[in-house]
A = this chain, B = another copy of it.
Amino acid sequence: MAPYRVVGTRPVRPDGLDKVTGRAQYGADIQLPGLVYGKVLRSAYPHARIKRIDASRALAHPGVVAVITGEDMPQLSSDRVAELGEGAIGLKHMSVLMLARDRVYFKGHPVAAVAATSPHVAEEALELIDVEYEPLPVVDDVLEAMRPDAPVLHEDLYTHEVGGARSSRPSNVAAHIQHLRGDIHQGFAQADVIVEREFRTQMVHQGYIEPQNATAWVSEDGRITIWTSTQGAFAVRDQVAEVLHIPAGRIRVIPLEIGGGFGGKIQVYLEPLAVLLSQKCGRPVKLVMNRAEVFQATGPGSPTYMRVKLGATRNGDIVAAEALFIYDAGAFPGSPVGAACLTGLSPYRIPHLKIDGYDVVTNKPRVQAYRAPGATTAAFAVETLIDELAERLGRDPVELRLQNAVEQGDRMTNGVAFNRIGFKEVLRAVLEHPHYRAPLPEGRHVGRGVACGFWQNWHGTSSVHLTFNPDGTVNLIEGSTDIGGSRASMAMIAAEELGLEVTDIFPVVADTANVGPNDVTGGSRVTYSTGVAVWKACQEAKAEMRKHAARLLEVEPDQVELVGTRWEVKGDPSRSVPAKRVAAALGRTNGAFVARGVSGGLQMAPGFGAHIADVEVDPETGKVQILRYTCFQDVGKAIHPSYVEGQMQGGAAQGIGWALSEEYVFDKGVMRNPTLLDYRIPTTVDLPLIECVLIEVPASDGPYGVRGVGEVPIIPPPATIANAIYRAVGVRLTELPMSPERVWRALQGEQEALAARPAAS
């Protein structure tokens, strides 16, 4: 018998019908009495000084009700700057990112915003705002940005060194991270084989289908309501509070359905503008981006320059690793280079290592998190070189990884020890899987590649409460916005614990005024941490249900137990009462009960995955066709296997897009392909059926052993496919995307030339 009645099954998701029939309300659907529409005037220059803004013609335009410019953003007082210390610079940057003041830092940077009685009038009015710019030199490459003679973007930005030291003069390098272990020189001295390469990757976008949107309404007493599509209503509340210097409690954020986020819907963009416009005109103001704005003015994933060097002994022990990760943050500091330094090399036990990471600003859109931020590119470099090591050592690449793989007690590159993890179990599953053992598909230029991915998985805090209905159904109120099907998995945990059917649980994603504090839906934390909150609330509810059940069965509470969907008298199963009937008692006003659960202080539940790709390369065109693709992942415990598989397939699909076709094509800081026609996200035509193999090694903490699963699957694809291409045609690709042109040029021996730009010091 399966240990669980509900967990591990595949019920229909509670929000499914509303979503497929168009009834679900997304951010742009919100309607309010007296609603006006906002539009943002954006810089056409990647870098320029603003000499003058004159909005008087726009303000005089019929239908225009408000105009704002950088002047309207509150400035930090000197007291507050003193209080915040270094944090003041970050806050100022966030403020300038929302609305430029005297300078624009990237094409698309907001310069002004208009609210008008129709979106068309607002758009017309944008053209009536006169802005005089003085163009400045554009810094569009990290290595150029790091040169001592490079133009400096921010006069207030100094390099933060590991340990807190600060550079003596302003720099485009915002931070330098370093992880050291052992003695790197000694390590490479022990190595019999050393591999080293440079890698470059381009800016990519999360590619969520729903554009950013925000509607705000400010009341006469200054209380603010914001409707938006977001990964975290509380995060929106707190960011708006910070940027606009408003106490967080005055802001209520109502999250609507969200059409994808992948890390890109944590940062606010439109929300503060909507608030300022509403403050000016007293009406609710809605702003919705178009696709070009989404590409150019939200936060894509970091472009990178990387150089990695690995050394191994003849018997296959990796003994030394040196890595340089330079991550492009775009216009303001904040690339995920820290995660690159943590995730790239942590999957392997390496006694000697030195990792340097740099966070560098350039005149591009300020990057944000993109699914396993920082890890995919780092793994592209590391996992390509592991493959090369295996080749040089004449070893099976999976066996070599297994030999070096970390297990419980081993340490991450930052020195923190792993708790229970399933990396070795994943690698063993690959070795035993028919796909790995099968002969290569027929074809002339066919190859099979393997690569791995590691993500630490976040936990954070979630708040949940349960209320009961008189029909025995239960409302599950949660603060986590549902992006990947979490309503379903949370309902399943509640059903499992309460002895109910999953259709008896009604999950509700509440706003910031209706549920306790709750971290964002991100970092692969929701199923784990919100799951813990649900589980805790259920234990509280069960204690109360036990009392009611005992009363109904006329015994003492310690004499009853929940068995399946019934409360039974211990030792006498013939005396029992359905759990649903007991739940109904808690839903009548005379037995009213509210259960709550808050998670926090959980252990990490790290995730590992490995992918196998069979590809065929057309040497005439350089086009890579994926013939077969299989994902392996330690998922801890799959609450709803279909949604776990969906996460794995979705992550792999995004990773494949990153590997083969997606990139921002820049021309001196100007994106030349800001449409979904020219920015090539893979379609079903480009992808095979992605097979999924779920390995369940329980996490050290939390119920059922569940682990987050959303981020790991985007990490392996670029290296997996690069390794497969190498096996197919004998060239190692070191730049993403591995577009037909790049593959063709590599086949012509031109790749080195492409990558051989000057390296950073």
Using a CB–CB distance below 8 Å, which chain A residues touch chain B? 17-18, 21, 23, 25, 29, 31-33, 217, 219-221, 223, 234, 238, 241, 247-250, 252, 460-461, 463, 465, 467-475, 477, 504, 506, 508, 510, 512-519, 587-594, 596, 598, 600
Contacts and interface: CB of A to CB of B under 8 A. Distances in A.
Given A29-B33, A596-B594, A589 B472 contact: no
A31 B29 contact: no
Given A219-B23, A589-B460, A594 B516 contact: yes
A517 B23 contact: no
A25 B592 CA distance: 29
Contacts of A598: 592-594
A653 to B, nearest CB: 28
Contact of A221 (B17, B31, B477, B596): B17
Given A31-B32, A589-B461, A590-B600, A467 B21 contact: no
Instruction: Report, nearest first, the 8 A-B pairs whose CB atoms are least far apart.
Output: A249-B473, A249-B469, A247-B471, A516-B594, A461-B589, A517-B592, A17-B221, A31-B31
B461 A590 contact: yes
A701 to B, nearest CB: 16
Contact of A514 (B29, B220, B472, B477): B477
Number of copies of chain A assembled together: 2
16 contacts: A17-B219, A18-B219, A18-B220, A18-B221, A21-B220, A29-B33, A31-B32, A248-B473, A249-B470, A468-B516, A468-B517, A508-B514, A516-B592, A516-B593, A517-B587, A596-B596
Contacts of A473: 247-250
B516 A506 contact: no
Contacts of A248: 469-471, 473, 587
Nearest to A16: B221
Nearest to A246: B471
Contacts of A29: 33
A17 B222 CA distance: 10
A592 B600 contact: yes
B475 A513 contact: yes
Nearest to A284: B23
A475 B596 contact: no
Residue among A21, A217, A516, A598 with max Cβ neighbours from chain B (10 Å)? A516
A504 B249 CA distance: 8
Residue among A217, A241, A249, A461 with max Cβ neighbours from chain B (10 Å)? A249
A23 B592 CA distance: 33
Contacts of A587: 248-249, 517
A217 B25 CA distance: 13
A282 to B, nearest CB: 8
Contacts of A25: 33
A475 B25 CA distance: 25
Contacts of A590: 461, 600
Contacts of A463: 467, 592, 594
A746 to B, nearest CB: 47
A513 B219 contact: no
